[in-house]
Amino acid sequence: MIQSKLIKMKKLIVVGIFLLVASLSGSAQKYAFVDTDYILGKLPSYVAAQEQLDKLSQKYQKELETLHAELDQSFKDFQSEVVLLSQDMKRKREEQIANREKEYKKLQRQYFGPDGELSKKKESLIKPIQDDVFTAIQTIAEQGGYAVVFDKAGNMTMIYTNAKYDLSDQVLQKLGYKN
């Protein structure tokens, strides 16, 4: 009786090990990586969009710098004249300066805020390109049977990468560009 239980136990262990090995070999997953900075840098449409955003940013920045210089000058003028002004005039000038400072900050948010004009322009110019890159990566990953594709350009630190698993050039080819 004890011997038959041992035989059954051995058979159960052998079957268990077989199932474990079969499941491990059947679930081998492939991994690859891309460098989206490299990919985007090779796309003329992305480079042109980035240049357009840089020019717009510089334009907004220059406008804000001009307003800030005017605001500084108004404050300096006020400080130099404050002893000559009546209380009523001081209060009015302080209000004017405070209002101009509010306008400056409002314009700064309007241009550079999270929902600002630069952010909206970036969304309209860059997002379609990024979507195309993502679609190409997804297609290559599905066709190649890759379970995970890492982005080498992100914040993730990759200590070592083997170039044969780099899909970046395949993504460029999928997008119609030669590297």
Residue range 2-27: mean pLDDT, rounded: 46
pTM of structure: 0.69
β partners of residue 146? 30
Q: Which residues of 78-104 are buried (b: 16+ CB within 10 A; e: fewer)?
A: beeeeeeeeeeeeeebeeeeeeeeeee
Contact yes or no for 121/53 (Cβ under 8 A) = yes
- Rounded to the nearest integer, the mean pLDDT of the chain is 83
pLDDT of residue 161: 62
d(CA 32, CA 98): 55
Confidence category of residue 166, pLDDT binned at 50, 70, 90: confident
